[in-house]
C-alpha cells in the first residue's frame, strides 16, 4: 500500500517538476537515497504517533463502550451524571503499543452534553476546547526556542459525533453543534446503539440524517479518494456514513471464538459482524486506513485555517493594501510603526484632554475665588454696618448714662433740700 501511495505522489511530483522546468537526470549507479522512505518510517516509528479523538454525544449513548471496543481494551471510564449545569470536556491520555508502533492516544469526552434545559450553548465549551488546543500549538510554533518534536500535540484529529438512535432524524443540538465544528475538526457521525433500531428503519434514518446534514451545509470528513490504493474502499465507505455502530464490553462464545457482543433474550448482536452493524467499517476507516490522513488534514486544513485567522487578527498579512507581497519582517515593522503612531495619537489626545481639563479647573477656581471675594466684601460690609450700629448703641448708652447720672444728681440735690425744709417745720 505504501508503494502505491508513493507512486501516486511521485506522479504529482513529475507534474510539479514540469511546471518548474527542472531537468531530469539519470544516475549511473546506486546512490542510496531510495532508502529515504525507510528512514522516514524508522524515524516516525521511533518518535511514536499521536492521535486525539473527541467523542461528542449525549450522556449514556455508549461513547465509552464504543471507544473500548474500538481499541479492544478497557479505558476505565466512569459514567457521567445527568445533573451538570454545563458541558465539561474531560481528556485522558494513554500510551498504547502494537508490535513496535507506539501510539499516544487522547480520548476527550463531553461530560453532560445535552443534559441542560437550555442547549443553545452546548457547543461553546467544545469549540473553546478545540481552539485552545490549536492556540497551544500556535504558541509553541511561535516560540523562538521551539520543541515541536517533543511537544505533546493535543489538537483534535477526529470528532466522533454520536447520534441518538431515534429513527426520527437529527436533533437541533446535533445540527447546530456539527455546523459550528465542521471547519475546526474532521467529523465522523455515527448512529449509537444501532441494535435498538430495525434494519429497514436504519436505512431510512441514515438517508434522513444525510439529507438534513446536506440541507444545513454541514461538511463531514470525507475519506480521501485521491490515493489510488485506498480510493475504492474509501469512496465505498463514504456512502455508508453515518456508521451505525454497536459497542459492548461483554464477550460471547460464537463458534469456537470469544467475540464482543450484546446478548438479548432473542439473540446475540456481534459487534464485529458486518451483517449486524457498521462497527468494523468504522474501525477500518478510523484506525486502519485513514488515521494518518486525519492527522494530516487536522494540520494542513483545520489548524491552517485557525492559524491564518489568528495571525490576521494579530495584524499580519502576506500582502499589503495594494495586494503586493510583504515579508513577515515588513509586516511586523508596519504593525510596529502603526502601533507607535497609534500610541503617539493617544498621547496627543490625552495631552489635549489634560489641557482642556486644566483650563476648566482654572475657570472653576477663578469663579470660586470671585464668589469668595464677593462673600468677603458682603461680610465686610455687614460687619461695618454692625459695628456702626454698635457704636450708635454705645453712644446712646453713654448719653443715657450721663442723663441718668445727671438725673440722679438732680434727684439727690432735690432730696437734700426737702429734708432741710422738713427739719425746720418740726422745730416749730
Ligand X SMILES: Nc1nc2c(ncn2[C@@H]2O[C@H](COP(=O)(O)OP(=O)(O)OP(=O)(O)O)[C@@H](O)[C@H]2O)c(=O)[nH]1
Segment contacting ligand X by CB under 6 A, of 135-143, 188-196, 375-383, 406-414 = 188-196
What nine digits make up the cell of 40? 522516514
Per-residue contact flags (x/-) with ligand X for residues 76 to 115, judged by CB under 6 A: -x-xx----------------------------x------
Of 153, 195, 278, 293, which lies in the binding site for ligand X, with binding defined by CB under 6 A? 195
Q: Shortest Cβ contact with ligand X: which residue?
A: 62
- Residue 224, C-beta contacts closer than 8 angstroms, at least 6 positions apart: 230, 231, 234, 290, 293
| 283 lies in the site for ligand X, by CB under 6 A | no
Report the distance separating Cα 73 and Cα 70, nearest Å. 8
Report the distance separating Cα 398 and Cα 221, nearest Å. 116
What nine digits make up the cell of 403? 442723663
Question: Least distance to ligand X from the beta carbon of 109, Å?
Answer: 6
| 247 lies in the site for ligand X, by CB under 6 A | yes
Give the helix/strand (H/E) hosting 92: strand 88-98
Question: Least distance to ligand X from the beta carbon of 38, Å?
Answer: 41
Report the distance separating Cα 110 and Cα 32, nearest Å. 50
If contact means CB under 5 to 8 A according to the sort of partner, which of Mg ion, ligand X, none does residue 65 touch? ligand X
Nearest 5°: CA angle at 103, between 97 and 105? 120
* 205 HSE (CA, 13 A, CB side): 23
Question: Least distance to ligand X from the beta carbon of 129, Å?
Answer: 16
Question: Least distance to ligand X from the beta carbon of 63, Å?
Answer: 3
Q: For the packed helices 2-20 and 36-47, what is the interaxial angle rounded to 10 degrees?
A: 120
Question: Least distance to Mg ion from the beta carbon of 70, Å?
Answer: 13
Task: Using CB under 5 A, list all residues that contact Mg ion.
Answer: 63-64, 77
| 246 lies in the site for ligand X, by CB under 6 A | yes
| 206 lies in the site for ligand X, by CB under 6 A | no
- Residue 118, C-beta contacts closer than 8 angstroms, at least 6 positions apart: none
Report the distance separating Cα 36 and Cα 49, nearest Å. 19
- State which residue, 109 or 278, has the beta carbon closest to ligand X: 109
| 65 lies in the site for ligand X, by CB under 6 A | yes
What nine digits make up the cell of 254? 460464537
Of 62, 114, 189, 242, which lies in the binding site for ligand X, with binding defined by CB under 6 A? 62
| 193 lies in the site for ligand X, by CB under 6 A | yes
Of 51, 56, 64, 134, which lies in the binding site for ligand X, with binding defined by CB under 6 A? 64
What nine digits make up the cell of 68? 473500548
Q: Which residues here bind ligand X, judged by CB under 6 A?
A: 57, 59-65, 77, 79-80, 109, 193, 195-196, 246-247, 262
Amino acid at each position: 500500500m505504501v508503494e502505491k501511495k508513493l507512486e501516486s505522489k511521485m506522479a504529482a511530483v513529475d507534474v510539479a517538476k514540469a511546471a518548474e522546468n527542472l531537468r531530469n537526470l539519470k544516475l549511473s549507479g546506486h546512490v542510496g537515497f531510495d532508502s529515504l522512505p525507510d528512514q522516514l518510517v524508522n524515524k516516525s516509528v521511533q518518535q511514536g504517533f499521536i492521535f486525539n479523538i473527541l467523542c461528542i454525544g449525549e450522556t449514556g449513548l455508549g461513547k465509552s463502550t464504543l471507544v473500548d471496543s474500538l481499541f479492544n481494551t478497557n479505558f476505565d471510564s466512569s459514567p457521567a451524571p445527568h445533573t451538570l449545569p454545563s458541558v465539561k470536556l474531560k481528556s485522558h491520555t494513554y500510551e498504547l503499543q502494537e508490535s513496535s508502533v507506539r501510539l499516544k492516544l487522547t480520548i476527550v469526552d463531553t461530560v453532560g452534553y445535552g443534559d441542560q434545559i437550555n442547549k443553545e450553548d452546548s457547543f461553546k465549551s467544545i469549540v473553546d476546547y478545540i481552539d485552545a488546543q490549536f492556540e497551544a500549538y500556535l504558541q509553541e510554533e511561535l516560540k523562538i526556542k521551539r520543541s515541536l518534536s517533543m511537544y505533546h500535540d493535543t489538537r483534535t484529529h477526529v470528532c466522533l459525533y454520536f447520534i441518538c438512535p431515534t429513527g426520527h432524524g437529527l436533533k437541533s443540538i446535533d445540527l447546530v453543534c456539527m455546523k459550528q465544528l465542521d471547519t475546526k475538526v474532521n467529523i465522523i457521525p455515527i448512529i449509537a446503539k444501532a441494535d435498538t433500531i430495525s434494519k429497514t428503519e436504519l436505512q431510512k434514518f441514515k438517508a434522513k440524517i444525510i439529507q438534513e446534514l446536506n440541507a444545513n451545509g454541514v461538511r463531514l470528513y470525507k475519506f480521501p479518494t485521491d490515493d489510488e490504493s485506498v480510493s475504492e474502499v474509501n469512496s465505498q465507505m463514504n456512502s455508508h456514513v453515518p456508521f451505525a455502530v454497536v459497542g459492548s464490553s461483554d464477550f460471547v462464545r460464537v463458534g469456537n471464538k470469544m467475540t464482543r457482543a450484546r446478548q438479548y433474550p432473542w439473540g446475540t448482536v456481534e459487534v464485529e459482524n458486518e451483517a449486524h452493524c457498521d462497527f468494523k467499517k468504522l474501525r477500518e476507516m478510523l484506525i486502519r486506513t485513514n488515521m494518518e490522513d486525519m492527522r494530516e488534514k487536522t494540520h494542513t486544513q483545520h489548524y491552517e485555517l485557525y492559524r491564518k485567522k489568528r495571525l490576521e487578527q494579530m495584524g499580519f498579512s502576506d500582502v499589503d493594501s495594494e495586494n503586493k507581497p510583504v515579508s513577515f519582517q515588513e509586516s511586523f515593522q508596519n504593525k510596529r510603526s502603526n502601533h507607535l503612531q497609534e500610541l503617539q495619537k493617544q498621547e496627543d489626545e490625552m495631552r489635549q484632554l489634560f489641557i482642556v481639563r486644566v483650563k476648566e479647573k482654572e475657570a472653576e477656581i477663578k469663579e470660586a475665588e470671585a464668589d469668595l471675594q464677593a462673600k468677603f466684601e458682603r461680610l465686610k460690609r455687614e460687619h461695618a454696618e454692625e459695628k456702626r450700629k454698635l457704636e450708635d448703641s454705645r453712644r446712646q448708652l453713654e448719653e443715657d448714662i450721663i442723663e441718668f447720672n445727671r438725673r440722679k444728681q438732680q434727684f439727690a440735690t432735690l432730696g437734700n433740700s426737702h429734708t432741710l425744709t422738713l427739719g425746720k417745720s418740726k422745730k416749730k
